[in-house]
Amino acid sequence: MRQIFLDTETTGLSPETGDRVIEIGCIEMVNRRLTGDNRHYYLNPERPSSEEALKVHGLTDEFLADKPKFAEIAEELMQWLSGAEVIIHNASFDTNFLDHELKRVGRAAFGTHVASVRDSLLMARDLFPGKRNSLDALCARLEVDNSNRTLHGALLDAGLLAEVFVRMTRGQDSLVIDSAASASAQGAGATVLRVDLSAIGVCLVDPEPHELAEHDRVLAELDKASGGKTVWRELVS
Cβ(152)–Cβ(135) under 8 Å? no
Which residues fall within 8 angstroms of residue 188, CB to CB, at 6 or more apart? none
Span 41-63, pLDDT tens digits: 999 999 999 999 999 999 999 99
Of 30-39, 76-85, 120-129, 185-194, give the lowest mean pLDDT range. Answer: 185-194
User: What pLDDT does residue 205 have?
Assistant: 78
Q: Is residue 187 part of a domain?
A: no
- More confidently predicted of 179 and 70: 70
Q: What is the mean pLDDT of the chain?
A: 87
Q: What is the pLDDT of residue 186?
A: 46
Residue 144 lies in a domain: yes
Q: Is residue 225 part of a domain?
A: no
Q: Which residue has the higher pLDDT, 197 or 34?
A: 34
Sign of CA dihedral 121, 124, 128, 133: negative
Q: Specify the number of domains making up the chain.
A: 1
Residues taking part in catalysis: 152
pLDDT tens digits, 99-154? 999 999 999 999 999 999 999 999 999 999 999 999 999 999 999 998 877 778 99
Question: In this structure, is residue 208 part of a structural domain?
Answer: no
Say which CATH number the domain at 169 has: 3.30.420.10
Q: Is the pLDDT of residue 190 over 60?
A: no
Q: Choose the weakest-confidence range: 7-16, 102-111, 181-190.
A: 181-190
The reply to whether 41 falls in a domain is yes
Q: In sequence order, which ranges of the chain are alpha helices (DSSP H)?
A: 51-57, 61-64, 70-81, 91-104, 120-127, 135-141, 154-168, 179-186, 209-225, 231-236
Show the domain range for 51. Answer: 2-182
Whether 216 is covered by a domain: the verdict is no
